[in-house]
Structure 1
């Protein structure tokens, strides 16, 4: 990725107890993601690709256009924040993925989402 195409991704996951049902192996998590264009030219988010892995090794792959129905266009220095969720069968799991972006120069590039952990708080184990 060139210096002009730089995207910073920050992730803030949390457990949602009122949407979870541990007795049925359903654990709900929300995650807020902040996408910041730290490059020198504008870029638009086109699509997402996720790998969600639970503690049993079950992997769910998710692909789709945009995020939460939007394809944000970010000028240098601008950020877009959204919240979404995941439902897994174990009390801990991990997510990772990438966003496909298109810069104003017409170049497509991937912005990597660093792996993050979905885990219920220790006080709830």
Structure 2
């Protein structure tokens, strides 16, 4: 399944792309595996460093998991004005439908911190919703 979403007109634009990983999933074990690719684009005139992330992952039963940590995929990338950074990661939930949302904390060269919201995006097996 493909799902893409972005937040335009922001200091930083965040775009998401989601795929269902059928070969790693097992519906009889309540295991649904999704990969997601995030593209972060620095639309500001400042150099920004991504220092931390916070995710809220919710399955269709309402179970919530919070994930917080430094950077993303072991990195704290620095984005010059106009630069993009792309990374991929994954999530495992117990239902064929769920959501993710969260935020990044980014810091400019002056040490000012900026909260960059990541709007809710769906995790869904193909053809579960029209």
TM over 0.5: yes
Residues 1-125 of structure 1: matches in 2 within 5 Å?
A: 6-122=11-127
Q: How far, CA to CA, are the matches of 2:47 and 2:34 in structure 1?
A: 31
| Number of equivalences | 119
What whole-Å deviation, never above 9, does each CA across 1:63-88 have from its counterpart, x for those lacking one? 00000000000000000000000000
Ranges of 4+ aligned residues in structure 1 off by more than 4 Å: none
TM-score, length-normalised on structure 2?
A: 0.89
Give the alignment's Cα RMSD to 1 decimal.
1.1
Give how far 1:105 is off: 2.1
Greater alpha carbon shift after TM alignment, 77-86 vs 100-109: 100-109
Q: Can you give the 5+ residue segments of structure 2 that lack an aligned partner in the other structure?
A: 1-9
